[in-house]
Structure 1
Amino acid sequence: MNELIKNTDSFYDRIADLLKAARQAVVKSVNHTMVVTYFEIGKLIVNQEQEGEEKAKYGRNLIIELSDKLSREFGKGFSATNLKQMRTFYLTYSKGQMVSDEFNLSWSHYLKLMRIDDENKTIGLILCQNKNESIVQYTLPENNEQIFASKYQTVLPTKEKLKELIS
């Protein structure tokens, strides 16, 4: 009887693992599809605003009118602010980015990155898990917390000092 329970548990665990993997794949696929779609929407907005010109003509209500129409048909998520973010996303990432290229981050990660004003954008902090390991992890702050540079050492040590710290 115990052997039957062990076999049943193992059988259940394998099925549960399959279902968890399928859920993760669906989430990843949905996130990727959203990011690519928002990139394309941003591209269409920029092209419509510019009407073939190098710069957009100001004073048009394109974003507001589009927001009203999309919100009526598709519901939340298409406010004027969101559409402006999609436009900014396209303008930021269209340089050298092909639609077929992988967008590996979620939409919220791209929004965080676009809020950084510096041209030399940073994606997070570099943290070493163990001073004896050369493994480095990149991370973005959790829960939209701000990173305060004053709390961190912002000057790299010399090569000699770094070797001393690691050994």
Structure 2
Amino acid sequence: MEISEDFLFQSIKEMVIRSREKVFRMANSTLLLTYWQTAKLIVEDERKGKERAAYGKYTLRNLSGKLTLEFGKGFDDTNLSNMRKFYMVFPIVDALRHELSWTHYRLLIKINDSEKINYYINESILNH
């Protein structure tokens, strides 16, 4: 009977682990898409012919305050700037690799060489 209980335990354990991994991947993909779409809206708003430097800083600061009040942390000036750069470096949503997390992308957007970015993306995916 002990073998059966151990098999039952292992089966349930593996199922729970797979389910948690699936939920994480879905949540991560949704977060990446939300940040990308947020940045797209910001960039499109900036491109409406307004003066970028002063307008952009004011807009991000103002938007950050409102979003933080509404949703809590995650929408400070720095993260909105990261989202904006994320969109600028990865302007095609289909190019996003959902195996990577927001933390990966925050590191990748600091690199100014697309070949290096692609190398690190591939290495990250290969090495989990």
**TM-score, reference length from structure 1:** 0.65
Give me the CA root mean square deviation: 2.3
In terms of Rg, which structure is larger? 1
4+ runs of 1 displaced by more than 6 Å? Answer: none
Number of equivalenced pairs: 121
Structure 1, unaligned runs of 5 or more = 125-136, 141-167
> Corresponding residue for 2:26?
29
Counterpart AA for 2:23: V
Counterpart AA for 1:11: L
More RCO (CA 8 Å, sep 6+): 2
Moved more, 112-121 or 35-44: 112-121
**Aligned with 1:59: secondary structure?**
helix
1:92 equivalent in alignment to 2:89? yes
Question: Matches of residues 126-141 of structure 1 in structure 2 within 5 Å?
Answer: 138-139=123-124
**TM-score, reference length from structure 2:** 0.83
- What's the % identity of the aligned pairs? 33
> Corresponding residue for 2:7?
10
Distance in 2 (CA, whole Å) between partners of 1:98 and 1:56 is: 26
**Aligned with 1:10: secondary structure?**
helix
| Structure with the largest fraction of strand | 1
Structure 2, unaligned runs of 5 or more = none
> Corresponding residue for 2:115?
120
